[in-house]
Structure 1
Amino acid sequence: MAIINTSILGKISGKLGNTVIYERNGKTIIKSLPAKSSKPPTAKQLYHRAAFKRGQQFLVPIRTELELGFAKRNAGQSQGFGRALSVLLKTGILNENGIPVLYPEKVKVSEGDVLGIDGAEAQWVGDNVLEITWYPNAFMGHGKEADRLFVVAYDPENGRKWAITQGNYRKSGSQQIQFPWSSDLRGRFYVYVSFFSESYGRRQFSDSVCLGRV
């Protein structure tokens, strides 16, 4: 693979023979395609392909939120969605008799070193209003009262999501979420929560936790 910082090829992109040319982050990438194998895929390869496809299908509707919660810290690290998918494949999809089974409760929407949420619960307080409560634990470890809540409520069956990307402060202990839909909500949404701190426009997150399907 070759990387050209200043493109001599203009805006050319696409496939040329056994070579793919595309642009990423202002750089032109020239990459050779892998040679096709004449051997039939092994059972392990078929499993990994199926797991990868299953993970992608589940995560695509919340891609925007994953790009935020898994934002790369340093140049060269994985982009958000790719990192989120990698974590899901390792911890959220299990091999059960050769079949990849995805457990939504094990999905992560953020990761990081910020102090995580403690004692969080979610309950409906209205037809389309969900309240999340937690224990204000800023005095523990390196948590701060000014850390803010990050919430992703996701209904995978219908592809619906509702996110709070700048929620209440850790010290408040609660957050109400009003959904834009008025019916068929209860028992549909997996709720993922975490905290983030922000400094000079850059966010650092805690590992998210799932509050179950509410």
Structure 2
Amino acid sequence: MGILKSGIMGPIRNKTGPSVGRMHRSINVLTGAYRASTKPPTTSQLDAQGKFGLLSGFLTNIDDLIKVGFKQFSKGKDPVNVASAYNYDHAFLVDETGFTLNYPELMYSRGYILPAESPAMLALPGQIEFNWLPQRQSMYCQYTDMATFLVYNPAKGYSVKKALATDRYAQGYMLDLREDFVGDTVHCYMSFASKDGKLQGNSTYLGQLKCV
């Protein structure tokens, strides 16, 4: 791949002979034209495609949380791509049907703000009640830290999330669910961020429960 700092006779776009020019992050880029392979994909290639599809389906569903949660580790890259690379190595389990997501290991946020102390959940009609214990204040643990909650429904393929819903001092929050979640098993997460949102914390997997 060639990067054209000044361009050849100016910016290049679209196909020119065997080359294709385009703009990528405000840079003129020249690449070879794509050639479709006539070889059938290998088992490892099919596995990789399946894994990528599973993980991408989960992450793109919560891209608004990831863009904030992985921003400080992105360094100009797309936070969703950074989150995908970070999660990929431990994101999957293998069973008799193939690959499934390893939900307890997935993270939508990373950082130094401390997680909740002994978080717990309770399924109520149309809601999930989150609770946690009080913590001693420190540089990365303030009463004013704001909590974010995520409930992912794999059966429906979408989630309910609430960013910066309440502060750490509240020690609890009631998250409203969608009506069509009733009877489904969901996976629950939460994280804290500093009040000004500049610092994030590691997201924590709280477990799964059945919605009522």
Q: TM-score range by the shorter chain?
A: 0.7 to 0.9
The equivalent residue for 2:172 is 174
Separation in 1 of the partners of 2:46 and 2:118?
Answer: 40
Can you list the C-alpha shifts for 1:78-104, whole angstroms capped at 9, x where unaligned? 422112212221122145699433222
Greater strand content: 2
Q: Would the aligned equivalents of 2:70 and 2:110 in 1 still touch at CA under 8 Å? A: yes
Counterpart for residue 110 of structure 1: 109
Equivalent residue number for residue 21 of structure 1: 22
Residues 111, 123 of structure 1: alpha-carbon distance in 2 compared, 3 angstrom cutoff: same
Q: Find the residue that maps to 1:134 and give its secondary structure.
A: strand
1:207 and 2:208 correspond: no
CA displacement, residues 34-86 of structure 1 (integer Å, 9 cap, x when unaligned): 8767776554444323222221123222222222222244634x422112212
Deviation (angstroms), 1:203:
2.7
State the Cα RMSD in Å.
3.1
Whole-angstrom distance in 1 between the partners of 2:112 and 2:208: 26
Percentage of matched positions with identical amino acids: 19
Largest Rg, 1 or 2: 2
TM-score by length of 1: 0.78
Deviation at 1:105, TM superposition (A): 2.4
Gaps of 5+ in 2: none
Alignment coverage as a number of residue pairs: 204
Higher mean Cα deviation, 152-161 or 40-49? 40-49
1:13 Cα offset (Å)? 5.3
**Match of residue 185, structure 2, among 185, 188, 191:** 188
CA pair 5-156 structure 1, distance change in 2 beyond 3 A: farther
Structure 1: runs of 5+ lacking an equivalent: none
Supply the AA of the counterpart residue of 1:47. Answer: D
